[in-house]
Amino acid sequence: MTANVPSKTVGERLVELFKAEGVTIIFGIGDITHMDVQKHAELAGLKVVGPRHEAAGGFMADAAARMTGRPQVMCGAMGPGVANMLPAAFNAAQEHVPVVFVGAQRQALVHESVRRSRFLHSPFVPAFATVCKYSACITHPWLTDDIVHEAFRQATTCTPGPVYIQLAWDMQVEEWDFPPFRPPSRYRVVSAGAAAADVDRAAALIAGAQTPLLVAGTGIHTARAHDDFERLARTLQCPVIATYGGLGVLPDADPQCLSYLTRAGHEAVGAADVVLAVGTSIPETLNYGRTRHFAAADETRKWIVIERDPGAVGVNRDIDVPLVGDMRTVLPQLTAALEKHGPFTPPAKLAGWRAACTRERQELWDGAGETRPIHPGRLMIEARAAIPDDAVIVHDGGYTLLYQLAYFERRSRDFLWASKFAHLGTGLPYAIGAQLVVGRDRPVCLITGDSSLGFHIMEFETAVRHRLPIVVIVNYDGMWGAEAQAHMDHIGHLIEVEHSLVRLDRIVEAMGGHGELVDDTAAIVPAVQRAFAARKPAVVQVITDPAVNALSLPPAHAEFFSWLVGDAPPLTGLVKGLAQMM
């Protein structure tokens, strides 16, 4: 019989299991209900970060998971602290990010008793079960290893996603003779390759194509598979189009990159005879790969997908060759198989498509004049000139996104936002989570709308406390920009869309950060440069023109808002009216 290890607390064992899974940060307010976990996390050399709100902490863990390629942990205090994590769990579920949420409950006997009006109490396991891939309660120390192992198994297997573990707050200090520690490779699959026959079929199909196309998705970011994807792209020499979540996997100026928002991108899609989709379910915002610009030649075009989850294959469109497995394993497999068919040469039209994309963007840039109030497109151009090329770029906001997509050039491969669920308010927590992972020496910049920043603005104090030099550039038009035009068209005036002027620069300064207020185009670059030079949390509040940003339609709005139509039957009523705005 295998001997047990010396007694340790449940809190210590949890930390040991988390650390083995690559967890580097434990997020959670410094509450008594998780203090033993936090104690042992600190002793084990993990970072312990206390957000001002549990939802924000969940978003921080989400960003940290994306930036490390491994699940991270968020702890919620019993009662409302656990409830506050639910928005972050919803977001992680829709974004397919493996976050481990740990919730505290009242003592087991209190929790299970038949009573009304218990203080700080609610049955959260069923609530999280509706959102998460796995939800369970550790009711005895003996169950700790099994439940944690299953949680990470579910979080990382097939489509990644959040999981929830609950335990009574007093159980964290219970001691137990736990069994000998087992590494993750003993209780779950840590990597899986595609079937060799499928890899060979895919390679042969691509090698025989006249105009292959690579579609890059969010999964490349979350798996941290950038190097493997770039090797594949260089091997194929073909056009690369990113989904909105896949933006940044290659820099915008890369000679193979085309934008789906441009005419040249549409031409490349229509001309493709074989499409290889990597790290994407081929989402609604890419017209499911079969409507609009994909509709031409859809019946003859062949599709190959690299997908971790066999249950996700063929849902949004038919697939000819699925490569099921872990991306960091399958990408090298496929690249090696393709090299046997190579070398590949760029399609004859690729250089022309690239030149057309460049001209189209330059025309947009030229049209963003130096007005006062500032044109939001000009804000993006000037911000790009001031932000270091290697910065992690975080996005948050509605129309701010569209102006960023059109005018802001992505130069580093880390571009972070909630591209599927579009959860406003994630930006500042995401920036904090990213900065915690990359360290103080690599710049992190959030470009956000004013409404979005307002959700969790107190997290600037968290950034100050942890000395995180994030720079936040705010497109400040003083309203809910994406809603304004629809209100004017449907109602004739704005209802609860406009905001009072708030001096964000002074708020951040009051918390110990650096603040800048900018109302002139020429002042943007020096203000952003001063913000980075301050080496502490900073906000650059740029006053932009609401008549441009919110009360007119931004560039490429028709492409972005095609999700309003999707692939549904003919529309009626309000949705039809909104769709006509396209």
For the chain of 582 residues, list the mean pLDDT of each consecutive stretch of 10: 72 97 96 94 97 97 97 95 96 97 83 74 90 96 97 96 94 92 92 96 96 96 96 97 95 95 93 97 93 91 96 95 96 97 93 94 88 93 97 93 91 93 95 98 97 96 98 93 81 87 96 97 97 98 86 74 74 59 54
Report yes or no on 582 lying in a domain: no
Same domain, 490 and 397: yes
Same domain, 168 and 236: no
Structurally, how many domains does the chain consist of? 3
Same domain, 214 and 147: no
- Predicted confidence at residue 257, as pLDDT, reads 97
Describe the crossing of helices 573-580 and 481-490 by its angle, rounded to 10 degrees.
Answer: 110
Report yes or no on 571 lying in a domain: no
Same domain, 52 and 149: yes
Same domain, 231 and 342: yes
The residue from 318, 353, 388 where one domain ends is 353
- Predicted confidence at residue 481, as pLDDT, reads 78
Same domain, 386 and 288: no
Same domain, 432 and 491: yes
Measuring CA to CA, which residue among 498, 91, 564, 3 is closest to residue 284? 564
| pTM for the full predicted model | 0.94
Same domain, 374 and 523: yes
Report yes or no on 556 lying in a domain: no
What is the rounded CA–CA span in Å between residue 179 and residue 185?
17
- Predicted confidence at residue 576, as pLDDT, reads 63
Report yes or no on 559 lying in a domain: no
Full domain range(s) for residue 448: 368-551
> At 257, is the secondary structure helix, strand, or coil?
strand
The residue from 303, 329, 353 where one domain ends is 353
- Predicted confidence at residue 435, as pLDDT, reads 98
Report yes or no on 16 lying in a domain: yes
For the chain, helix, strand, coil in percent to 5 are 45, 15, 40
The CATH code of the domain that includes 230 is 3.40.50.1220
Tell me how far CA of residue 352 lies from CA of 264, 267, 359, in angstroms. 8, 11, 10
- Predicted confidence at residue 314, as pLDDT, reads 94
Looking at the DSSP bridge assignments, the partners of residue 374 are 544
Q: Is 188 in contact with 157 (CB distance < 8 Å)? A: yes
Strands 134-138 and 163-168: parallel
- Predicted confidence at residue 91, as pLDDT, reads 97
Report yes or no on 398 lying in a domain: yes
Same domain, 179 and 201: no
Q: Tokens 């394993």 appear where? A: 329
Report yes or no on 242 lying in a domain: yes
Q: Is 7 in contact with 56 (CB distance < 8 Å)? A: no
Same domain, 473 and 447: yes
Same domain, 74 and 203: no
The CATH code of the domain that includes 546 is 3.40.50.970
Same domain, 462 and 419: yes
What is the rounded CA–CA span in Å between residue 314 and residue 223?
21
